[in-house]
Amino acid sequence: ELSQRMSERAVDVIKFLMKEGQMMKPGDLIDADLAELIAGEFGHTVKRVSESDVEEGIFNVADEEGDLESRPPIVTIMGHVDHGKTSLLDAIRHANVVAGEAGGITQHIGAYQVEQNGNKITFIDTPGHAAFTAMRARGAQATDIAILVVAADDSVMPQTIESINHAKAAGVPIIVAINKIDKPAANAQKVRTELLQHEVFVESMGGETLDVEVSAKNGTNLDKLLEAILLQAEILDLKANPNRTAEGVVVEAQLDRGRGAVATVLVQTGTLKPGQIIVAGDQWGRVRALVNDKGDHVKEAGPSMPVEVLGLSGTPAAGDKFAVVENESRAREISEYRQRLAREKQVARQSGSRGSLEQMMNQLQNSGLKEFPLLIKGDVQGSIEAIAGALEKLGTDEVRVRIVHSGAGAITESDISLAEASNAAIIGFNVRANAQARSLAERQGIEIRYYNIIYDLVDDVKAAMSGLLSPER
């Protein structure tokens, strides 16, 4: 990438690096100091900017108070399993569609919008706190209001409490939907009382939390629930500026056979339009089309509106932020920056002891050994054989791979002991180490490398082996 930007041949850069005693191949990561040295050598002037400057002016661009207009609330439904989250989402949506278009066909795109007395409400279609918190873990707060569903015949259960804690941790206000009120065993008062113990104080108990008795099955009081949401939204005074370039969050994304990468996004501020270029997570693309929750193509999507975006290069993750950027090269730059960050994070995660493969090479070199001992575990025998074959081919007169053990299945403690005894590194292909093995490896300083692409594996071993070659070659 650096050679490309300097309009130099990669091979020249690699030659220069070799002269400097650095064995590298295209795609290897170099640090800022080395990049500066290389750029200087090739006659370029280097200006250092902070890495995060790449994204400056793109994400989290503040709005002027005067430009703000009120926007619909975004709602997530949480609660214990079988208390009726899905039923409630379906009932609300169904009631709305029937009232709206005659026989309207609905698409499940991950979020939908309904209208109550001319006011819009957006529902995230994945119930539960797991998705909610996964999105938060990626830095996105997509939800304004949490609906806590509690079945009136079952009352407060473990996941009810979890949901309360997740909502509270996020600072998101709760509205309690006491569901299954149609059941003979329903006891709404018990629900209210039990919620007190978890510091959810509904109005009739002297608190400020709104609660509504509903039946998702019979459609009872759904409009009351929607009214409560609108009331809560009014208190929250939710606002955004529709007249600017859009920013928002990815709700879900998948590869569609016919349509390519499809991401459902929620616009949080601004207005998104076809033809614009967006960055979403580490993906980017020109918006080919916007499709709403009714399956219609739309010309724009304003604040709190969920739409499917077609035209991305790949699938971003749920909770990734997206933003409109001014041109393709900027988009490419940001997505490359983000992909690199993600790669670095992954590498750091996968090998707690970074660089120890290299260290091991140095040790071997010093001891004069010309063998590279490896222990290989894989998911199936076929791939292990393919890997062993490919690695054996790497051997030269000077240095070769020695496979001390190979087998199918997870990496176990006995593998670690064996690797330790034979001074081998461990390679896991589509398998992981179990917990005991991981901690033993950590204690013993045994390196485990994980791969899921044979090419990457072979390439890394090749690079490591080149460090074993005699310097005079």
Binding positions are 79-86, 125-129, 179-182
User: In whole angstroms, what is the distance from residue 44 CA to residue 426 CA?
Assistant: 42
Binding-site member from 72, 78, 85, 170 for ligand GDP (CB under 6 A)? 85
State the nearest-atom distance from the C-beta of 213 to ligand GDP, in Å: 10
Site string for ligand GDP, 323-352 (x = CB under 6 A): ------------------------------
Would you say 164 or 290 has its CB closer to ligand GDP? 164
State the nearest-atom distance from the C-beta of 201 to ligand GDP, in Å: 23
Of 179-187, 286-294, 350-358, 430-438, which part binds ligand GDP (CB under 6 A)? 179-187
Of 78-86, 135-143, 191-199, 288-296, which part binds ligand GDP (CB under 6 A)? 78-86
State the nearest-atom distance from the C-beta of 159 to ligand GDP, in Å: 9
182 binds ligand GDP (CB under 6 A): yes
Of 215-223, 283-291, 395-403, 406-414, which part binds ligand GDP (CB under 6 A)? 215-223
Q: Is 304 left (phi over 0), alpha (psi -120 to 50) or beta?
A: left
State the nearest-atom distance from the C-beta of 77 to ligand GDP, in Å: 8
Binding-site member from 96, 143, 160, 215 for ligand GDP (CB under 6 A)? 215
Which residues, numbered 87-126, are part of the site for ligand GDP (CB under 6 A)? Answer: 87
Binding-site member from 20, 82, 203, 358 for ligand GDP (CB under 6 A)? 82
State the nearest-atom distance from the C-beta of 146 to ligand GDP, in Å: 14
Binding-site member from 183, 190, 400, 402 for ligand GDP (CB under 6 A)? 183
Which amino acid belongs to residue 297? H
Would you say 83 or 449 has its CB closer to ligand GDP? 83
| Binding site as annotated, residues for GTP | 79-86, 125-129, 179-182
Of 77-85, 246-254, 303-311, 320-328, which part binds ligand GDP (CB under 6 A)? 77-85
127 binds ligand GDP (CB under 6 A): yes
130 binds ligand GDP (CB under 6 A): no
Q: Pairing mode, if any, of strands 111-116 and 119-124?
A: antiparallel
303 binds ligand GDP (CB under 6 A): no
Would you say 179 or 269 has its CB closer to ligand GDP? 179
Would you say 181 or 433 has its CB closer to ligand GDP? 181
First to last CA, the chain: 28
Binding-site member from 71, 75, 76, 84 for ligand GDP (CB under 6 A)? 84
State the nearest-atom distance from the C-beta of 218 to ligand GDP, in Å: 7
Of 211-219, 303-311, 343-351, 361-369, which part binds ligand GDP (CB under 6 A)? 211-219
State the nearest-atom distance from the C-beta of 134 to ligand GDP, in Å: 17
Would you say 124 or 287 has its CB closer to ligand GDP? 124
380 binds ligand GDP (CB under 6 A): no
Q: Is 430 left (phi over 0), alpha (psi -120 to 50) or beta?
A: left
Beta bridge partners of 174: 146
86 binds ligand GDP (CB under 6 A): yes
Do residues 192 and 211 touch, judged by C-beta distance below 8 A? yes
Q: How many residues bind ligand GDP (CB under 6 A)?
A: 16
Do residues 289 and 311 touch, judged by C-beta distance below 8 A? yes
Q: Which residues bind ligand GDP (CB under 6 A)?
A: 79, 81-87, 127, 179-180, 182-183, 215-217
